[in-house]
Copies of this chain bind each other. A is one copy, B any other.
Amino acid sequence: MGLSIAMPQKMKTTVKVRNHHIDAYGHVNNARYLNYLEDARSDFFEELGVGLHLLAERGIHVVLTDVTASFRYPAKLGDLLDVYGWFIDISTRKATWGHEIRQAASGKTVMTGTATGVFLQRDRIITIPADVRQVMASLFLPDSV
């Protein structure tokens, strides 16, 4: 009664494919997708109240260690892309995002990927801070790769 248990869920943001995101093949360049994902993670952390600038004020930097990406369907100029992020793994000292990008108009999966990161303080990897871990748990969907 009155107990509120929020189910973990994926977060979403939307990005527009710009002229300078396209490469000579006429599609979004592969490296650009990593920027879409990086921008999305930054927005997600901010929306969850643990923005990267707030962490930086505590001397904490989030650094990527590993990335994987599978390109399924080429995004084109003007496409609106829904960028999803959630956590597929959270351990003591590192965590892995699951990612998916869909063409907003069609729902087609453009790419899927993962991004693993660690938290650094004075250039040393630290245990994920408790408050950050707590908000990360709200995005923890380990079986939704």
Contact = CB atoms under 8 A, between A and B. Distances in A.
Contacts of A34: 30-31, 34
Interface in A18-45: 18-20, 22-26, 29-35, 38-39, 42
**Chain A, interface SS category:** mixed
Contact of A19 (B25, B66, B67, B69): B25
A20 B18 contact: no
B23 A20 contact: yes
A19 B24 contact: yes
A63 interface: yes
A77 B34 CA distance: 18
- Copies of the polypeptide in the assembly: 4
Interface residues of A, number: 32
B26 A19 contact: no
Contacts of A32: 20, 31
A30 B65 CA distance: 9
Nearest to A70: B66
- For A22, A25, A26, A30, the residue with the greatest tally of chain B CB atoms inside 10 Å of its CB is A30
Q: Nearest 8 CB-CB pairs, A to B?
A: A31-B34, A22-B24, A31-B31, A24-B77, A20-B29, A67-B69, A19-B24, A31-B35
Interface of A: 18-20, 22-26, 29-35, 38-39, 42, 51, 53, 61, 63-71, 77-78
